[in-house]
Structure 1
């Protein structure tokens, strides 16, 4: 999460309008779901990777780390699709179905293209910009504030967890199995009270700064450009039309 949030806050497209990035991301996802062409799926992945690396300036290492977990799920699901289990005299036999390779490979490629579309949005757009966009489309301020506070609560939990564990490690709390077990138990027992204490301080700080029921942030993004929105729509529409011809 830290990696995703760091890139979302520091990439070169940080000030680009969230609407433009949402249209680009969801255009790629919709095309990946609708297209039946291998070439289109691979083109979507290449376009998104190129855009994130060369356009937004996100390092390939960060993209790979952010994609490692969903790619692992996709790989596990693909392996499960191509493997077959048969029972002969109550003895299981595991084999590989050659006929399932094409279908499983295409599903994996389509899933990867969809994941890359979501990663593009997550790595280039902070949550505050997305919620501001949703508010302009009708999302109530209360729901937006709840989402932001939950997001902040996750960061508070991680911060308390890492700080306490670092303190225990500096006091040799993990030098052997018994101490590691005891330190982990103390960490879990004290985590919730510490997080709630930090949350109460956060609430007091908001009240001291005049919180009136709606969280406000400094707007850093530029207005959406109609030309860029049209270019994104034309790109994926043209790619989808080419995919229909190739199929």
Structure 2
């Protein structure tokens, strides 16, 4: 079972209304991305992290470990924005390299911090939704929002096949280890290629079998999944509206009044 999926089903917010969690995560993400405000991003990162850890019950170290995954990519991508090689030194610092300078400015530093915090806060919104809401509940929300049925079915089938392929890959990898298929670098590369080709063939075979089984059970282009009904709470809706309204006000204030 995928770790995120396991944490989701163990979350203390598992049985809260999925529509409320979906609305909070999506609206907050949009406000954060559109505003590009450092203050808004910091508040969103703190609030969603607190809700996921304190209210949802996700271990702090595990949550921080998941946050380090996008953080590594962000540092690499913002390095090109932050550092410049120029003949003219900038205002923050400049390291001479012959006739050139490795340099940066305050505006570049501000933009890099803004980009990192905005991206991290957006990821934290998605983590909040992923760690507290099962995939079936998210798909039910999308169905109520009149998302195309074809897209919902594809998402459900892809979600199902992730577990199937992971289980198959784990079995093949164990078999390769038992046969010393990774004893050196050359053998490991060959084993990895064989693993990819075997997964491809088995995925196609299983997808054909799945479609045949679905048609044998009178498949009519709609996959029906039982969903639990958790009524929305007026207090939670009011809190979401107040929080997002405060974020919008803060974004406007920081952009036009400072």
TM-score interval, normalised by the smaller of the two chains: 0.7 to 0.9
Question: Contact 1:3/1:62 (CA < 8 Å) preserved in 2?
Answer: no
CA displacement at 1:245 relative to structure 2:
5.2
TM, length-normalised to structure 2 = 0.82
After superposition, what is the alpha-carbon deviation per residue over 1:65-92, rounded to whole angstroms, capped at 9, x for unaligned?
3323322222223322220112699976
Matched, 1:60 2:60: yes
Question: Contact 1:4/1:66 (CA < 8 Å) preserved in 2?
Answer: no
Call closer, same or farther: CA 1:101–1:186 in 2, change over 3 Å.
closer
Call closer, same or farther: CA 1:13–1:207 in 2, change over 3 Å.
farther
Corresponding residue for residue 77 of structure 1: 77
* Distance (Å, rounded) in 2 between the aligned partners of 1:64 and 1:137: 32
Corresponding residue for residue 170 of structure 2: 162
The number of equivalent residue pairs is 247
CA displacement at 1:51 relative to structure 2:
0.4
Question: Contact 1:44/1:113 (CA < 8 Å) preserved in 2?
Answer: yes
Pairwise CA RMSD: 2.8
After superposition, what is the alpha-carbon deviation per residue over 1:22-60, rounded to whole angstroms, capped at 9, x for unaligned?
121123223323546543332221111110011111122
Call closer, same or farther: CA 1:140–1:188 in 2, change over 3 Å.
closer
Matched, 1:141 2:149: yes
Matched, 1:108 2:116: yes
Corresponding residue for residue 18 of structure 1: 18
Call closer, same or farther: CA 1:107–1:214 in 2, change over 3 Å.
same
Secondary structure (helix, strand or coil) at the match of 2:27 reads helix
Aligned partner (choices 185, 188, 191) of residue 183 of structure 1: 191
Aligned partner (choices 223, 235, 239) of residue 231 of structure 2: 223
TM, length-normalised to structure 1 = 0.85
Call closer, same or farther: CA 1:144–1:40 in 2, change over 3 Å.
closer
Secondary structure (helix, strand or coil) at the match of 1:85 reads strand
CA displacement at 1:199 relative to structure 2:
2.7
Secondary structure (helix, strand or coil) at the match of 2:22 reads helix
* Distance (Å, rounded) in 1 between the aligned partners of 2:116 and 2:73: 10
Which runs of no fewer than 5 residues in structure 1 stay unpaired? none
Higher RCO, 1 or 2 (CA under 8 Å, sep at least 6)?
1
* Distance (Å, rounded) in 1 between the aligned partners of 2:227 and 2:61: 29
Of 159-168 and 99-108, more deviation after overlay is shown by: 99-108
After superposition, what is the alpha-carbon deviation per residue over 1:101-135, rounded to whole angstroms, capped at 9, x for unaligned?
22322232222222211221122222221111111
Of 90-99 and 25-34, more deviation after overlay is shown by: 90-99
Question: Contact 2:67/2:120 (CA < 8 Å) preserved in 1?
Answer: no
Corresponding residue for residue 200 of structure 1: 208
Call closer, same or farther: CA 1:182–1:81 in 2, change over 3 Å.
closer
